[in-house]
Amino acid sequence: MKIKLTKTIFWQIGFSLLILSFFFCTAKVTANPENDLQKRPLLDELIILSTIGNIPDETSKIVDYQDKVDLFVVVKDREKNYYLGTDDSIPDKIKINNKIYSMEDGTLKRWNKIAWGELNIEWYRIMPKMKPSRPRSQYEWYSNVITEGPKEGEFAEYVVIEYTQTPLDETGWSIALTNEIGTARFRAELSYDGK
């Protein structure tokens, strides 16, 4: 009788602990922010970073012809989280406004395309037009001075240089630039959730 009573008490205690542990585990799982994957970030800003082999940052670079230049897109959400890429093939550290953001300290995150959807990123090269669309005279090049007649060489007006953008074949979080001579400007455009 004593043995049966001891077994019953231990069985009831064990069953009670099992039920309690189930409730605690459920509470822990539902309270874990890692499980809140369905919460979609509200995007606020798109930032282009560049690197020549160091930590990517937002500053313009003067590079040598042989330098390997890579461009990256970083997305900032309204909660000031920064996202770069979807996998580890992209740097795990960036610098914005002289502050380092990294995967290691949690200030830089990877975009979760399974939970939040795909970001479509397109790249464009921005180049100045060689000639203005509407030249002021027979002289068809850019000039802030009068180029003909008795007032030749005198200041005429500030001429705004016009630019064109050409889509690049590369898309995605990063592109590697080809070696070219001259100044290059780039633009990235992001579409997400049909916008």
Which residue is it, tokens 């920064």?
A: 82
Say whether pLDDT at 28 is over 50: no
CA distance 127 to 185: 7
Both 93 and 50 in one domain: the answer is yes
Please tell me the total count of domains within the chain: 2
- pTM for this prediction: 0.70
pLDDT digits (tens, 9 = 90+) for 3-23: 444 444 444 444 444 444 444
Q: Is the torsion defined by CA of 14, 20, 23, 27 positive or negative?
A: negative
Both 15 and 54 in one domain: the answer is no
pLDDT digits (tens, 9 = 90+) for 90-101: 899 999 999 999
Host H or E run for residue 28: helix 2-31
DSSP-based three-state secondary structure for 61: coil
List beta partners, residue 119. 192
Both 42 and 19 in one domain: the answer is no
User: Is 130 a member of any domain?
Assistant: no
Count of residues in the chain = 195
What is the domain extent for residue 179? Answer: 38-122+166-192
